[in-house]
């Protein structure tokens, strides 16, 4: 499903409504909600809107667990840190227990080590969750099923830190991988969830803005096969729901 809005505030408002709706359903069904946050600059307005009391009070933060789809290889206090963006605009303003914040920690000796540790953290978390969720008929028991994954997209069609022409797009086993080559903006190494994990999600919601990204999306929707060769975002095809929210301007 794709929905277009005049600007990022209107798109952000729609995104917040989806987050609240999915959170309520997840907590109702299994007692907890797993939310994967996206990075970059686009989500800033949406996170701030979600933190507003009228919205925040509709989410059962005590039963919510927050993860990241990717992280840049910078300290958590760095302006380019995806953790810092979420912490500043959202996490610092809501009653989310600190033990429910599953940060991609970047303080280790290498992005590869950080990726291994994050994957272990995910396996520990999903290994301990209720079997009800893991035994869902379509669930692949070797993969975690997040309730909602938020994603952005670069103008080159990358998503999370899955960049065009990189081998990570072929990764089938790992849940989390390092992106050692400095790619994207900022040009730093990264850690990212892999396609098998992203595509296992119950719901995926893209929030993008601007003409160029809208053109990329049009190609993805009109020519998915061709687009896969060009744009990693074209590989996002979850069993669950896929929602694109497009703001005509930032």
Least distance in angstroms from the C-beta of 131 to ligand 6PG: 31
Which stretch of DSSP H or E encloses residue 131?
helix 131-134
Interface with ligand 6PG (CB under 6 A), residue from 12, 144, 154, 232: 154
Interface with ligand 6PG (CB under 6 A), residue from 12, 39, 189, 232: 39
Q: Are 145 and 139 in contact (CB under 8 A)?
A: yes
The 109-148 contact track toward ligand 6PG, x by CB under 6 A, reads ----------------------------------------
Nearest to 9 by CA among 44, 58, 51: 44
The 50-69 contact track toward ligand 6PG, x by CB under 6 A, reads -------------------x
At 90, list the tokens. 């959202």
Least distance in angstroms from the C-beta of 250 to ligand 6PG: 9
| Under rule CB under 6 A, residue 38 binds ligand 6PG | yes
Interface with ligand 6PG (CB under 6 A), residue from 8, 33, 40, 145: 40
Nearest to 31 by CA among 132, 148, 101: 132
Least distance in angstroms from the C-beta of 93 to ligand 6PG: 20
Q: CA–CA separation, 71 vs 131, rounded Å?
A: 29
State CA 189 to chain mean position distance: 18
Nearest to 29 by CA among 155, 179, 159, 202: 202
Least distance in angstroms from the C-beta of 164 to ligand 6PG: 12
Task: List the interface residues with ligand 6PG, window 155-184 (CB under 6 A).
Answer: 158-161, 184
| Under rule CB under 6 A, residue 76 binds ligand 6PG | no
Alpha-carbon Rg for the chain, nearest whole angstrom, is 17
CA angle in degrees (0–180, nearest 5) for 9-13-16: 135
Give the alpha-carbon dihedral of 110, 112, 117, 123, to 10 degrees.
Answer: 170
Give contact residues for ligand 6PG (rule: CB under 6 A): 38-42, 69-70, 72, 82, 152-154, 158-161, 184
């Amino acid at each position: 499903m794709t929905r277009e809005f005049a600007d990022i505030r209107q798109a952000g408002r729609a995104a917040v409504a989806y987050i609240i709706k999915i959170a309520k359903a997840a907590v109702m069904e299994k007692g907890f909600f797993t939310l994967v946050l996206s990075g970059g600059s686009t989500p800033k307005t949406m996170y701030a809107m979600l933190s507003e009391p009228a919205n925040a009070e509709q989410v059962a933060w005590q039963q919510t667990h927050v993860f990241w789809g990717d992280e840049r290889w910078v300290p958590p206090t760095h302006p380019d840190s995806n953790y810092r963006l979420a912490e500043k605009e959202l996490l610092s303003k809501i009653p989310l227990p600190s033990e429910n914040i599953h940060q991609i920690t970047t303080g280790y000796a290498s992005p590869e080590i950080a990726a291994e540790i994050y994957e272990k953290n995910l396996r520990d978390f999903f290994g301990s969750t209720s079997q009800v969720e893991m035994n869902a008929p379509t669930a692949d028991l070797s993969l975690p099923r997040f309730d909602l994954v938020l994603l952005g997209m670069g103008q080159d069609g990358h998503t999370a830190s899955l960049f065009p022409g990189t081998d990570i797009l072929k990764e089938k086993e790992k849940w989390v991988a390092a992106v050692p080559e400095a790619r994207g903006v900022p040009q730093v190494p990264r850690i990212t969830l892999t396609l098998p994990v992203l595509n296992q999600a119950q719901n995926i919601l893209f929030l993008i803005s601007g003409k160029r990204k809208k053109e990329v999306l049009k190609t993805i929707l009109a020519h998915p096969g061709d687009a896969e060769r060009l744009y990693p975002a074209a590989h996002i095809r979850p069993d669950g729901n896929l929602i694109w929210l497009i703001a005509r301007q930032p």
